[in-house]
Chains A and B, each alone.
Chain A
């Protein structure tokens, strides 16, 4: 709730999805001998998503994006904190009630070939949610809804007879999207939904996702490590690092004027993201992460009981950063940032500032 809503500051419509202090700990096996080690995949995340809003989550591999998506969908149980969907606490629901609620949520997975049952023709897979939720009982109605869904995602009706291995990657992802949207869910998580596709196909699928969202008014969570994709579909973006949101705000604002050093590094590492700004030189790219390998939350947890998890890579780090962990603070611009020394609005690139 405290997760400052970037959108619509005036009218406070209750968010459709609302996570507070959401935490997910993975305990690595400790028997037979080894010490108990924990990974905080998601660490105290506050995030709310409004109906009709598309929130992008960016961050490097291992930063906890997929885990956050699974938590918001109730596919994993939080170790601490809460997820509310339309006001209902997911953790308070019986497994059965949660399954029923799943008709209103959906997941689109990164790997469209893996996300489809290789043994089933596409048609039956796409309409399966109707059967599971006993919605369209007779075959003719299912047939009609299948055709409508295929048209919606731009697939020819004949494709229903095909097996997943018989169609292209883009068509597969369209089929996965058709299946996810079969029940007109109010909340859809796209987990790296275009990352596995060719660049040309990516753009088409992104457009499709955007169009479908406008039509349906659903809330979307769009997970990716690609800032460009986020800029194309999302209204708001949250940047994750080591299980935490380090910055969020309207996507155009965040890209134009990043406040957190990590966001800056992500933007600088992405070529041609901002017109006129070229990719930074090697020295700063090295600091700037994406090539510096995944964050290791284990390390962050084990070796940093306090302090900012990003400080070992941060060019702006000070003594304060290694003792006090920065809180994600709301700013009056509707943005949030977790940093002791955020870049000032419209600041010059860090390398030059320091």
Chain B
């Protein structure tokens, strides 16, 4: 298991580094950054001075080495906008994003898995059909539509929850619900099909034949086996994190990283964009790393692949 975790960790770090490098180069290809960052009417001298000041007149490789050298001592570059270290933006915004996405993710998993299991157990019955109709609706609805709908219902019409901002826990409810419900639709569908697959296996029949109460058949055998593909799916859905964060934070004026990323891009604030992208990538890579670990824990075949599992 340790060796397995080690291999996965190396892979995660490698992914992070490759993404970072690719992104760094892409942002500098054929682009006059000074021109973009200032504006169309800026004098050529001003643009040249800007490029020289921030090092954009250097070859990309030199810039890259400089950047990496900086990273090693914790220097992530500076914002064009206020000359503050770019990481300051992250430190300001990250807690809010974590708060929102963790709550949303927890909601997504709880609602999605519960609904999926309930649908699978009641396959073909009214409950199953209701849950699956809702899931299809939720899956096909863009998250901003759901967000605006929730906002209209609870903030404007019922007036029980605030529509935007982040000052109290009540502010968290609508954006987290938007995040959670959108994701839960996919999780529910995936959980249902994973459960149905497992429920048809002979060992489930064997458990019933042993006299295992139905609830225990689910908790002892069905759910743990169905969890293997579901966890994989959750890992993939961590990839949608950025999109979710950007949209939900924008709709609800939630001052997190997603919203900050949108402004940073609008201002061509290169260092800030770069560090934020890194954070998002790190987020995903971590999520996938955790999934890999869980996967190994759940699936003995994967875990033991290293030490001669006989076939």
Q: Is the CB of B213 within 8 A of A107?
A: no
Q: Is the CB of B209 within 8 A of A105?
A: yes
Interface status of A22 (Cβ within 8 A of chain B): no
Q: Is the CB of B211 within 8 A of A99?
A: yes
Q: List 27 A-B contacts (CB under 8 A).
A: A73-B209, A75-B209, A98-B211, A101-B211, A106-B210, A107-B205, A109-B202, A109-B205, A114-B203, A115-B206, A117-B203, A117-B225, A119-B224, A119-B299, A119-B300, A128-B207, A132-B210, A132-B211, A132-B212, A163-B300, A165-B301, A165-B310, A165-B311, A166-B310, A167-B310, A168-B310, A176-B206
Interface status of B201 (Cβ within 8 A of chain A): yes
Interface status of B309 (Cβ within 8 A of chain A): yes
Q: Roughly how many angstroms separate A166 CA and B301 CA in the complex, as a whole number?
A: 9
Chain B residues closer than 8 Å to A116, beta-carbon distance: 203, 206
Interface status of A103 (Cβ within 8 A of chain B): yes
Q: List which A164-200 residues lie within 8 A (CB) of chain B.
A: 165-168, 176, 179
B 270-311 binary contact with A (CB < 8 Å = 1; else 0): 000000000000000000000000000011110010000111
Count of A-B residue pairs with CB < 8 Å: 75
Given contacts A109-B205, A115-B202, contact A163 B304 (CB under 8 A): yes
Interface size of A by CB at 8 A reads 31
| Nearest-neighbor residue (CB-CB) of B300 within chain A | A163
Interface status of A129 (Cβ within 8 A of chain B): yes
Q: Roughly how many angstroms separate A290 CA and B213 CA in the complex, as a whole number?
A: 40
Interface status of B216 (Cβ within 8 A of chain A): yes
| Nearest-neighbor residue (CB-CB) of B308 within chain A | A166
Interface status of A118 (Cβ within 8 A of chain B): yes
Interface status of B123 (Cβ within 8 A of chain A): no
Interface status of B11 (Cβ within 8 A of chain A): no
Interface status of A322 (Cβ within 8 A of chain B): no
Q: Is the CB of B309 within 8 A of A163?
A: yes
Q: Is the CB of B211 within 8 A of A103?
A: yes
Interface status of A24 (Cβ within 8 A of chain B): no
| Nearest-neighbor residue (CB-CB) of B206 within chain A | A115
- If A115-B202, A117-B221, A165-B310 are given as contacts, then 12 extra A-B residue pairs at C-beta distance below 8 Å, sorted by A number, are A75-B205, A99-B212, A99-B213, A111-B202, A114-B202, A116-B203, A118-B299, A119-B224, A128-B210, A128-B212, A165-B301, A166-B304
Quote the shortest CB–CB distance from A285 to chain B (angstroms).
32
| Nearest-neighbor residue (CB-CB) of B209 within chain A | A107
Given contacts A100-B211, A132-B216, A166-B309, contact A107 B206 (CB under 8 A): yes
Interface status of A133 (Cβ within 8 A of chain B): yes
Interface status of A102 (Cβ within 8 A of chain B): yes
Given contacts A109-B202, A163-B301, A165-B309, contact A75 B210 (CB under 8 A): no
Q: Is the CB of A118 within 8 A of B300?
A: yes
Chain A residues closer than 8 Å to B84, beta-carbon distance: none
Report, nearest first, the 6 A-B pairs whose CB atoms are least far apart.
Answer: A102-B211, A114-B202, A107-B209, A99-B211, A115-B202, A109-B202
Given contacts A75-B205, A119-B225, contact A129 B210 (CB under 8 A): yes
Chain B residues closer than 8 Å to A101, beta-carbon distance: 211
Chain A residues closer than 8 Å to B211, beta-carbon distance: 98-103, 129, 132-133
Interface status of B208 (Cβ within 8 A of chain A): yes
B 229-245 binary contact with A (CB < 8 Å = 1; else 0): 00000000000000000
Q: Roughly how many angstroms separate A129 CA and B216 CA in the complex, as a whole number?
A: 12
Q: Roughly how many angstroms separate A115 CA and B200 CA in the complex, as a whole number?
A: 11
Q: Roughly how many angstroms separate A294 CA and B27 CA in the complex, as a whole number?
A: 66
| Nearest-neighbor residue (CB-CB) of B301 within chain A | A165
Chain A residues closer than 8 Å to B304, beta-carbon distance: 163, 166
Q: Roughly how many angstroms separate A195 CA and B201 CA in the complex, as a whole number?
A: 18
Quote the shortest CB–CB distance from B218 to chain A (angstroms).
13
Q: Is the CB of B209 within 8 A of A106?
A: yes
Q: List which A90-114 residues lie within 8 A (CB) of chain B.
A: 98-103, 105-107, 109-111, 114
Chain B residues closer than 8 Å to A105, beta-carbon distance: 209
Chain A residues closer than 8 Å to B205, beta-carbon distance: 75, 107, 109
Choose from A100, A102, A114, A119 the contact partner of B209 (Cβ within 8 Å).
Answer: A102
| Nearest-neighbor residue (CB-CB) of B211 within chain A | A102
Q: Roughly how many angstroms separate A75 CA and B204 CA in the complex, as a whole number?
A: 12
Q: Roughly how many angstroms separate A167 CA and B309 CA in the complex, as a whole number?
A: 9
| Nearest-neighbor residue (CB-CB) of B204 within chain A | A117
Q: Roughly how many angstroms separate A119 CA and B207 CA in the complex, as a whole number?
A: 14
Q: Roughly how many angstroms separate A132 CA and B208 CA in the complex, as a whole number?
A: 11
Q: Roughly how many angstroms separate A99 CA and B214 CA in the complex, as a whole number?
A: 10
Q: Roughly how many angstroms separate A167 CA and B304 CA in the complex, as a whole number?
A: 13
Quote the shortest CB–CB distance from B188 to chain A (angstroms).
23
Q: Roughly how many angstroms separate A272 CA and B224 CA in the complex, as a whole number?
A: 47
Q: Roughly how many angstroms separate A110 CA and B206 CA in the complex, as a whole number?
A: 11
Given contacts A99-B211, A102-B210, A132-B210, contact A114 B300 (CB under 8 A): no
Given contacts A105-B209, A132-B212, A166-B304, contact A119 B298 (CB under 8 A): yes
Q: Roughly how many angstroms separate A163 CA and B310 CA in the complex, as a whole number?
A: 10
Chain A residues closer than 8 Å to B309, beta-carbon distance: 163, 165-166
